[in-house]
């Protein structure tokens, strides 16, 4: 068992479910105290209970990533409680309005997707960088983009795909802007991963498994643990010279 994050404080947005919960647990298992954030309190408390049940330490804080005030308060709370912010994983995201062509997509739905998936990452970066750049050891940030961004094509999902492409590009821009401040920024772009988000409407687990056998060269979804392993690598000192990378974990879908 390695403990790459002992004594470090990590923040994970969207940590009440799916990939965010898996990343939060993996960070705690490797010694981090983990601040878990999202809009709904109950799922965050469940994640915190899982962390504490394994002997880890953390804190649950409600925050909406589309609100700058929430993000600054979140970082301040993490630092007040644990003394620093060393790792941040900007994972919160939504996938809504699938199946609508661009010509039929409501402006409000387009704006909402970008507000959470892009501006949410931008605002989180600002709050996190503001703290990390003042610390002697800086910090490491991992943004969760998607293979459906710059890496592949999917009709009927323009709000999501354009937003995730923006997260990949924003990651590169922010990485270049802030590596001299000691803040190392990278992205992970998952393909279909074993969470609720990867189900099509009305699909069962067996349906999804059958679809994966034809859509994904590996023949299956990625597990949350596999995506979390990539996030932890980029957040750790093992990746000390990795800056502005966008690590695709998609079973070969974009190979």
Ligand X SMILES: NC(=O)c1ccc[n+]([C@@H]2O[C@H](COP(=O)([O-])OP(=O)(O)OC[C@H]3O[C@@H](n4cnc5c(N)ncnc54)[C@H](OP(=O)(O)O)[C@@H]3O)[C@@H](O)[C@H]2O)c1
Number of residues that bind ligand X (CB under 6 A): 30
Q: Scanning residues 18 to 77, which ones bind ligand X (CB under 6 A)?
A: 18-20, 38-40, 43, 64-66
Site string for ligand X, 213-252 (x = CB under 6 A): ----------------------------------------
Nearer to ligand X, 22 or 139 (CB): 22
Residues 143 and 108: their CA atoms lie apart, in Å, by 24
Cα–chain center distance at 214: 27
Binds ligand X (CB under 6 A): choice among 9, 12, 13, 127:
13
Q: How far is the CB of 105 from ligand X (least distance, A)?
A: 18
DSSP SS3 for 127: helix
Nearer to ligand X, 89 or 140 (CB): 89
Binds ligand X (CB under 6 A): choice among 80, 107, 196, 237:
196
Q: Which two tokens stand for residue 240?
A: 């000390």
Q: How far is the CB of 91 from ligand X (least distance, A)?
A: 5
Contact 31, 108 (CB under 8 A): no
Q: How far is the CB of 178 from ligand X (least distance, A)?
A: 21
Catalytic residue ranges: 160
Backbone phi, psi, residue 189, to 5°: -115, 95
Phi-psi category of residue 18: left, alpha or beta, with phi > 0 → left and psi -120 to 50 → alpha: left
Residues 159 and 152: their CA atoms lie apart, in Å, by 14
Nearer to ligand X, 25 or 192 (CB): 192
User: What DSSP letter does each residue of 144-176 carry, written as one string?
Assistant: E--TTSTT---TTBHHHHHHHHHHHHHHHHHHH
Cα–chain center distance at 196: 15
14 touching ligand X, by CB under 6 A: yes
Residues whose CB falls within 8 Å of the CB of residue 170, separated by 6 or more in sequence, listed in order: 118, 121, 122, 125, 143
Nearer to ligand X, 138 or 251 (CB): 251
Nearer to ligand X, 118 or 138 (CB): 118
Site string for ligand X, 141-170 (x = CB under 6 A): ---x-x------------------------
Please give the residue ranges that form the binding site for ligand X (CB under 6 A): 13-14, 16-20, 38-40, 43, 64-66, 91-95, 116, 120, 144, 146, 190, 192-193, 195-198
């Amino acid at each position: 068992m390695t403990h790459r994050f002992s004594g470090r404080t990590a923040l994970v947005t969207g940590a009440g479910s799916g990939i965010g919960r898996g990343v939060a647990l993996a960070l705690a298992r490797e010694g981090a105290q983990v601040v878990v954030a999202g809009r709904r309190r109950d799922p965050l408390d469940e994640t915190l209970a899982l962390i504490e049940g394994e002997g880890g330490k953390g804190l649950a804080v409600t925050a909406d990533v589309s609100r700058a005030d929430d993000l600054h308060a979140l970082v301040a709370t993490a630092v007040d409680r644990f003394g620093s912010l060393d790792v941040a994983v900007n994972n919160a995201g939504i996938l809504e309005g699938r199946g609508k062509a661009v010509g039929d997509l409501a402006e409000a739905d387009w704006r909402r997707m970008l507000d959470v998936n892009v501006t949410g990452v931008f605002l989180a970066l600002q709050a996190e960088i503001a703290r990390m750049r003042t610390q002697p050891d800086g910090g490491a940030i991992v943004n969760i983009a998607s293979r459906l961004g710059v890496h592949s094509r999917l009709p009927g999902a323009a709000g999501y795909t354009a937003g995730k492409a923006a997260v990949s590009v924003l990651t590169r821009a922010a990485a270049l802007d802030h590596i001299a401040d000691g803040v190392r920024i990278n992205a992970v772009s998952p393909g279909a991963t074993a969470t609720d988000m990867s189900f099509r409407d009305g699909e069962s687990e067996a349906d999804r498994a059958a679809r994966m056998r034809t859509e994904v060269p590996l023949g299956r979804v990625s597990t949350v643990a596999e995506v979390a392993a990539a996030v932890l690598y980029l957040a750790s000192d093992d990746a000390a010279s990795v800056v502005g990378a966008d690590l695709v974990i998609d079973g070969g879908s974009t190979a």
